[in-house]
Structure 1
Amino acid sequence: MDFNGDLSLKVDVHPLVKLLWESGVQYEAKVIESYQRDHSEKSFRAIDPEKPASEALAKETLKAMQDGIDIIYQGVLISGNKLGRPDLLLKTPGSSSLGAHHYYPMDIKLTRIDATWDDGNEKVPIEQFWQIYFYGELLEHVQGKRPEKGYIYKTKSRILPIPLYKAPKNYEWSVNQLENYLQGNAFGAEPTINSNCGLCDWKDSCRSWADEKQDISLVYYVGQAMKLGLNQLGIRSIEDLAAQDPDYLTRKVIELKNQGFFWNAMPADLPAKSVVRAKIHLSKKPVIHNPITFPDAEKEIHYDIEDDPTQDFVYLHGALLIEKGKEPKYYAFFAEHRDEERTITEHLFDFFNQHPDATVYHYSDYEKTTLKRLISKHQLDSTSYERLFGKNGTAIDLYKIVTENTDWPLTSYGVKAICKFLGFQWDASDAGGAASIVWMNEYLSGHTSMKEKILRYNEDDCRATSFLKNELIKMQNHTNDV
């Protein structure tokens, strides 16, 4: 988009993206300092990290490689129209055009591991896998030998090997697409609206295009892989999708899966569900497919977490206690400092134990998985967790209720998208998990007024889950009346 799009349509860079840039630079500097200290016996050369990549720096990098420098920081690799700048190039034995040695790439990543490629011990996002593989291709051109592995540096104890002998899924297609964009051949290149759009500079431009075209990616769960497959069948708009016979579409999707489209683990009923969702999208009215019931409890707790995954830091557990005949009361277990994460989690479990008869509600699996990680991280007692979130836990995930029993004329089934559709409003106009992370970092930097904003946002999140639960009951009652 930066090469072929109308730059006037870009929005300002999101504050969280700026924060991630700054945090990444600071973390990388600390890692490099530590890495040099731990390998002080090895030669080290930095290739002008402050300067942008260029042919001159690529020549300087090649000279360092030919000289056999053990550790090369911010080297520049160029092959034709492809350019890469791995954080580290590390020398290892093995013949190449350089002599009796060659290099493998290592990139430093700040974010917590969370995603899609598994080496048996750890997981890394597929985009990071692509990046290391790309460096491997460049090294093959520069040194005449492709390294067997590259690495992603998370911490000293978590340096993850990435195999470079086989291209990861969709890598070649993605590279070809990028080359087409750079050459100005953007014909047929279309955005796919998904959950990653929120932090992108081009989100408004892409959303306007999708709304104008009524693109099928506006239908919930129609991501890039499904969109590409449906496009092969001539299905491009929501109306196209809504007009399909579900059984016929399911058969055609199976045929295309055998040709490499879609993805192996795609749910068998997704094509038929997508037809239904397209019709609901056009109707602009949500639908309840199955009866929804909730416990008639004297107490309810609506629970929500705020955390910064880039720092592996949970800074707030929020809980809205609702008792029949009383005004709802919000409780905030807030970490004033990073070392209070354990304490606030213990206080949360104490709070749950003080209300053992309360029905606990949350939205999505995130609270459950985060609490499980905190228990392991801080060696906490898991009794309360098991009672609420364990295999037979009593906590109710409203996201599961929504996705299993309802459909909405929305692209996202997130709590904010649904509650805003139903009329709920957050106090802050820029409310969101990303904004909360920025506010917390500002608070830790001395801007104490940010605490009130963080707590207010979290309280609104808790109230939103209560609001949604009540709206689902109203919708259910209306369905029963009809």
Structure 2
Amino acid sequence: MLVTDSLLLDYKRCQRRAYLNTHGSSEERRPERDFLLKLRQESQRHIQEVLEEQFPHYREPETPTYLGQERAQETKTLMAQGVDCIYRGCLYHSLPVNLHTDNNGHLPMLELLGHPHLLVKVPGESRWGPWQYRPVSIQLGRRPKPEYKILAAFYAQLLAVHQGPLPRWVEIILRRGNSYSVDLLEWLPRFHQTLADCVQTLIHQREPEVFISRQRCNLCHWYDHCYAIAQEQQHLSLVPGVTPSRYESLQMVGVLTIDSLARLQTQQVAELMGTAIAEQLQQQALALVEKRAMAKEKKVYPLPRSPVELYFDIEAEPERNLDYLLGVVVVDHGQKTEKFYGFMAKDPEEEGLIWQEFVQLIQTYPNAPIYHFSEYERETIKRLGKLYGTPPKVREKILEQCFDLHHYVVNHVICPVESYSLKSLASWLGFQWRDAQASGDQSVCWYDNWLTTGDRQFLELILRYNEDDCRATWILKDWLTKFFAGPA
């Protein structure tokens, strides 16, 4: 049985993903999304930047990466020679698995294969001489996540098999060159436990339970497969607000499906998670079962009304700290007109220009509410206003016009949806995006494609998606107005 660092990383993030990668049917995998490819490209750029800045003189094994054991042997040879820095080396070790014997009475073998980004020579003692190596992981994240530390401990353990002593320390280099040292006294035991659990799961083919966590699961190539199972089971993870810890609490009192949660007497779980949370989860499940929305309060302050209303949405590239599209749909009820304005930065340097164009449009309608669907729009107005020297009074006036519909929804109404995203809410109301697969992540990929190729079709796709987001916000606002107005 082969356990690689990538498999262990999958297991640490999602046990089910590691299981399906090993035992699942390829027919049930969906193609990887463009955004994953973009993340890999960004990761490789980050690695190259670290190499150029900190480790310009490195050796790389010549053996192809798909020949794992042979590449590992070449890596050992390079370490024995005392090479200062080895890039994309390979570490391999095999040992018997003391779980069960096969039909011939033999213990199955566990093969461990790791690919540390760097192996760096440092002073010390090893079986090769007065030097040893420490592994260096180069990760795209901004903080040293537990899974990064598990992998670092994995590399340290494999390295110790070959050089003798454990490395004195293991380094993780994060985004922006931030460096982090891993405490092996703490993380080696955690690695061993994770490895043991992973091997038990995969050898005995214990399929982990489905748990849908959209933020974590959305990019996974097994998402459609797992989501179909969750729907068939009426799995509680489909209820907004059911976290893994709350799920365990609900299981303790025998609540296993959405329907059973909807019929729950809240006092059954109030002691475990508090009355307010228990009531919230029960009402959310009831809304899903009965397919109807419910007001959280009898009296709700009305949404602003105006002859002209603005619906605002942003497309942004976090990696570049860039807001490349500021989109607004202007709805003039008096004139019975509607128009979309898409202020697009065709080059990242144009961010300031589109900000000024946006401000000019907003100042044309000083009394119009600006509806948007997240706190991000407000924060962006603050950021761009300061960055490009917009007078404080102008910034404050624009912020006074802003109205966050997401905040309004989650505080005042329970909808029969599995997620309180704009796409989920507007889809429930019958709105359809013109490009079914469009998303914020895909928009970022389209923008990268535009910058790379200059093909205007990518700009058109982004503009169309952004306009649909603005119009979805409009649909949601109109429904909220009617819902709280009650019967005519």
> Shorter-chain TM-score: what band?
0.7 to 0.9
**Does 2:134 match 1:107?**
no
How far did residue 214 of structure 1 move?
0.5
| Structure 1 counterpart of 2:117 | 87
Counterparts of 1:385 and 1:237, CA distance in 2? 48
**Does 2:27 match 1:8?**
yes
**Does 2:346 match 1:339?**
no
| Residue pair 1:49, 1:74 contacting (<8 A) in 2 also | no
Map 1:56-71 → 2, pairs under 5 A: 56-71=70-85
Gaps of 5+ in 1: 114-122, 255-267
Query: 1:47-98: CA deviations, max 9, x gaps?
Result: 3485236122223333333433332211223455443222223334455666
What is the SS of the residue equivalent to 2:446?
helix
| Structure 1 counterpart of 2:313 | 304
What is the SS of the residue equivalent to 2:218?
helix
**Does 2:83 match 1:72?**
no
What is the SS of the residue equivalent to 1:72?
strand
Counterparts of 2:406 and 2:71, CA distance in 1? 51
In structure 2, which of residues 218, 223, 226 is the aligned counterpart of residue 206 of structure 1?
226
Counterparts of 1:406 and 1:170, CA distance in 2? 43
Map 1:79-228 → 2, pairs under 5 A: 79-80=93-94, 81-95=111-125, 100-110=130-140, 113=142, 123=143, 126-139=146-159, 141-143=161-163, 144-155=165-176, 158-165=177-184, 166-167=186-187, 175=195, 177-228=197-248
Larger radius of gyration: 2
Would you tell me which structure has more helix in proportion to its own residues?
Answer: 2
Counterparts of 1:215 and 1:102, CA distance in 2? 51
- What one-letter code is carried by the residue in structure 1 that aligns with 2:173? I
* Distance verdict in 2 for CA 1:457–1:105, change over 3 Å: same
| Structure 1 counterpart of 2:269 | 249
TM-score (norm 2): 0.80
Map 1:259-298 → 2, pairs under 5 A: 269-290=276-297, 291-298=300-307
In structure 2, which of residues 465, 469, 482 is the aligned counterpart of residue 474 of structure 1?
482
| Residue pair 1:106, 1:153 contacting (<8 A) in 2 also | no
| Residue pair 1:94, 1:102 contacting (<8 A) in 2 also | yes
In structure 1, which of residues 345, 349, 364 is the aligned counterpart of residue 374 of structure 2?
364
Counterparts of 2:443 and 2:181, CA distance in 1? 33
| Residue pair 1:132, 1:162 contacting (<8 A) in 2 also | no
Counterparts of 1:167 and 1:229, CA distance in 2? 28
What is the SS of the residue equivalent to 1:245?
coil
* Distance verdict in 2 for CA 1:459–1:411, change over 3 Å: same
Counterparts of 1:337 and 1:470, CA distance in 2? 35
- What one-letter code is carried by the residue in structure 1 that aligns with 2:464? R
| Residue pair 2:345, 2:351 contacting (<8 A) in 1 also | yes
Counterparts of 1:270 and 1:168, CA distance in 2? 37
Query: 1:343-377: CA deviations, max 9, x gaps?
Result: 3234333433443332222112233344555567x
- What one-letter code is carried by the residue in structure 2 that aligns with 1:18? L
In structure 2, which of residues 409, 430, 448 is the aligned counterpart of residue 441 of structure 1?
448
Identity %: 27
What is the SS of the residue equivalent to 1:304?
strand
Gaps of 5+ in 2: 1-19, 95-110
| Structure 1 counterpart of 2:365 | 355
Please identify, of 422-431 and 465-474, the stretch whose mean Cα deviation from structure 2 is larger. Answer: 422-431
**Residue correspondences, number:** 446
Counterparts of 2:254 and 2:242, CA distance in 1? 15
| Structure 1 counterpart of 2:465 | 457
